[in-house]
Structure 1
Amino acid sequence: MNKLKVELAITFALSVFYGVLFLFRSMYEMFRTGKKLFKVNKRKEPPRCLRDPSLGKHVYVELKEVKLHYVTNGNSQNPLMVLIHGFPDFWFSWRNQLKEFCKDYWVVAIDMRGYGESEKPEGIRAYQVSKIEDDIKQLLNALGRKSGVIVGHDWGGCVAWSLAAHYPEIVEQLIIMNAPHPRNFEETLHSNLHQFFKSWYIFFFQLPLVPELDFCAKDLAVFDKEFCSDGRSICSEEEIEAYKYYFSQPGAFTPPINFYRAAIGWLRKDLQEEYDGFRIKAPTLVIWGEKDKYLVPELATGCARYTDNYTLRIIENASHWVHLDHAEEVNKHMWSFLKKQRK
């Protein structure tokens, strides 16, 4: 049995295991409360914060395969900065950076395909990383630029790593927040038991429909839980409602979860072939929330092995959502890095 078949068998077994746990947990919760666990309230109007003019202008662009939505702030004559959100998220994740960096940069915060107001192609293969990379390349062309500063968090960070490796000519500087270098993540997942168990959700997401139901539980209570760090909320009620507004739309979770389904081994080239030569030439800043509950700290330090010019800034007491709960410190590190590269 070759490596790919072994990985497939393990993934299938773990997916079923987590699916069974979900089933028993859901049945217990419904029996205990007597409520409809997966009912999501309809939200017809977006919260005001999503139309805050200080965040920028909403724009739509037609690419070869999809129509993308993005929010832009700053002078279009300034250097370009592209912000790529993670999961489960959308352009609004970058509200603190849209306001901060529009002074010196033309800041563009996108909704990746499948998210927010961007189009949502059907099928798992529509969400392979190579597709998202191509979207970013086409977006730069549509903006009339050949390159820019690329910033990514979580899944957006994975896309940014891959973009910088495959198309180094379009990445002037790379800024990553709590997203491991893909090769480093693969190696750590196989060698670090702690990271393996932290990654349980990747296996759970391979199941059809079940993960979508889980996210809808208790009227999208997942967002109240996610945006809480050390017992404090890192988002206002209105900001959390902004996330619930978009993800309460019918079928909103399937495309984002399809990113994980498309990333699993049997839908890609052999992992070794895919990541050989996956070296980053652009100056790279990694900002890492120390209390990330999904990623072990070794992933932050391990990225240095795959970059030619690496800077790491670890923020104590920061969660996975480091750019939200420590925005001021994150922006400070970004400015310092960007100004240093200009010299």
Structure 2
Amino acid sequence: MQTETVTLNGQPFFLRRWGDPALPILLMLHGFPEYGGAWADLAPHLAHRFHCIAPDQRGYGQSWAPEGTAPYATSHLVADMAALIDHIGRGPVTVLGHDWGAAVAYGLAMFTPDRVTRLVIANGVHPVPFQRALAAGGAQSRASQYILDFRKDDAPERYAADDFALLERFFRRAMGSDWLTDERLAEYRAEWARPGRLAGMLGWYRASPLDVAEPGTPLTDLPALPLDRLHVRCPHLLIWGPEDRALLPEATEGLEDFAADLTRITIPGTDHWLCHQAPEQVAAAMLDWLPDERTRP
């Protein structure tokens, strides 16, 4: 692995890279509460076919972490990664997103399709099926009540207290974390403890326009979504850990309506953290689906 800091839209972003720079590019976008180093389990299984690039996204790790909520609107997050693809200068690229990284990956594919040749999502959700599930007042609404807690003004202080005890509990209990060793948790704590980072990480939730219903009380007055603009035109692979307790199967129902060229693959025995739990299987699913572009002239 190699690291560097680049300037995107006038701000510093920290990158990790694996593999020969001459290989086709795979942009790897992490979610909450991780950082670019979270791809260290998966990237080595892909680095013989791809030059893997994993940024710390805005608000995370060693990248720029502006104050406030407005800077974390999805449009800004997508603009960061669009600027990164342009900085790399070898687009279009294959994009892989997990959790919140999936939101940015979907945004790149939907709003900057000239930059994305193929889209891979690992336990992440498209905004339309997810919003519908969040608004229904059922199982996904119940599973997502933590979002409302993350949006409270005192959330950064509460989740940072006692050496991030509440955030660790979220990791271990809410979503499963057999892979989260004491050594790795110490690495995560070091990233969370950087000044302003936890507030920035939670800023993604605060800036999100998604509405979460109370369990048993469906929302019926949602604003209309620009459905015609929310289509993935490139080939799309969805890899799923079926034991995920944060994102439920209903959160992807109807995805085919927005991704005509969709392939679904399930990795049995995994949950939200499938890229840590079964990196070899996730890599194999990707490599079987993705064309080998190394032989192209």
Corresponding residue to 2:24 among 63, 79, 96: 79
Is the contact between residue 286 and residue 300 of structure 1 (CA under 8 Å) also seen in structure 2? Answer: no
Taking the aligned partners of 2:185 and 2:73, their CA distance within structure 1 comes to: 28
CA offset digits 1:47-78 (Å, max 9, x no partner):
xxxxxxxxx11111111142111101212221
Q: Secondary structure at 1:285's aligned position in 2?
A: strand
CA offset digits 1:295-341 (Å, max 9, x no partner):
11122343222101111112222121111112121111111111389
Corresponding residue to 2:162 among 218, 221, 227: 218
Is the contact between residue 98 and residue 109 of structure 1 (CA under 8 Å) also seen in structure 2? Answer: no
CA RMSD of aligned residues (A): 2.3
Cross-structure match for 1:277 = 229
Taking the aligned partners of 2:164 and 2:98, their CA distance within structure 1 comes to: 22
Segments of 4+ moved more than 6 angstroms: 228-232, 340-343
Query: What amino acid sits opposite 1:162 in the alignment?
Result: G
Corresponding residue to 2:250 among 298, 317, 333: 298
User: Quick check: 213-222 or 326-335, which moved more?
Assistant: 213-222
Structure 2 unaligned spans of 5+: 212-221
Corresponding residue to 1:307 among 242, 250, 259: 259
Superposed displacement of residue 250, structure 1: 3.3
Structure 1 unaligned spans of 5+: 1-55
Is the contact between residue 300 and residue 312 of structure 1 (CA under 8 Å) also seen in structure 2? Answer: no
Cross-structure match for 2:282 = 330
Max radius of gyration: which structure?
Answer: 1
Would you say 1:123 and 2:75 are equivalent positions? no
Is the contact between residue 176 and residue 271 of structure 2 (CA under 8 Å) also seen in structure 1? Answer: no
TM-score of the aligned structures, taking structure 1 as reference length: 0.77
Taking the aligned partners of 2:129 and 2:293, their CA distance within structure 1 comes to: 25
User: Quick check: 331-340 or 142-151, which moved more?
Assistant: 331-340
Is the contact between residue 71 and residue 110 of structure 1 (CA under 8 Å) also seen in structure 2? Answer: yes
CA offset digits 1:101-129 (Å, max 9, x no partner):
11111110110011000011122111111
Taking the aligned partners of 2:87 and 2:60, their CA distance within structure 1 comes to: 20
Cross-structure match for 2:241 = 289
1:223–1:161 CA distance, 2 compared to 1 (3 A) = same
Q: Secondary structure at 1:233's aligned position in 2?
A: coil
Superposed displacement of residue 286, structure 1: 0.6
Corresponding residue to 1:184 among 129, 135, 148: 129
Query: What amino acid sits opposite 1:310 in the alignment?
Result: L
Taking the aligned partners of 1:187 and 1:341, their CA distance within structure 2 comes to: 37
Is the contact between residue 229 and residue 319 of structure 1 (CA under 8 Å) also seen in structure 2? Answer: no
Q: Which is richer in helix?
A: 1
Superposed displacement of residue 273, structure 1: 4.1
Taking the aligned partners of 2:51 and 2:223, their CA distance within structure 1 comes to: 36
Taking the aligned partners of 1:142 and 1:65, their CA distance within structure 2 comes to: 12
Cross-structure match for 1:234 = 179
Cross-structure match for 2:219 = none
Superposed displacement of residue 87, structure 1: 0.4
Paired residue total: 284
Structure 2 matches for 1:120-199, cutoff 5 A?
A: 120-199=65-144
Corresponding residue to 1:204 among 144, 149, 152: 149
Query: What amino acid sits opposite 2:59 in the alignment?
Result: G
User: Quick check: 292-301 or 127-136, which moved more?
Assistant: 292-301
Superposed displacement of residue 228, structure 1: 6.8
1:273–1:264 CA distance, 2 compared to 1 (3 A) = closer
Cross-structure match for 1:37 = none
CA offset digits 1:156-194 (Å, max 9, x no partner):
001111111111111111000111110111111122511
Query: What amino acid sits opposite 1:291 in the alignment?
Result: E
Taking the aligned partners of 2:266 and 2:161, their CA distance within structure 1 comes to: 33
TM-score of the aligned structures, taking structure 2 as reference length: 0.88
Q: Secondary structure at 2:77's aligned position in 1?
A: helix
Is the contact between residue 93 and residue 118 of structure 2 (CA under 8 Å) also seen in structure 1? Answer: yes
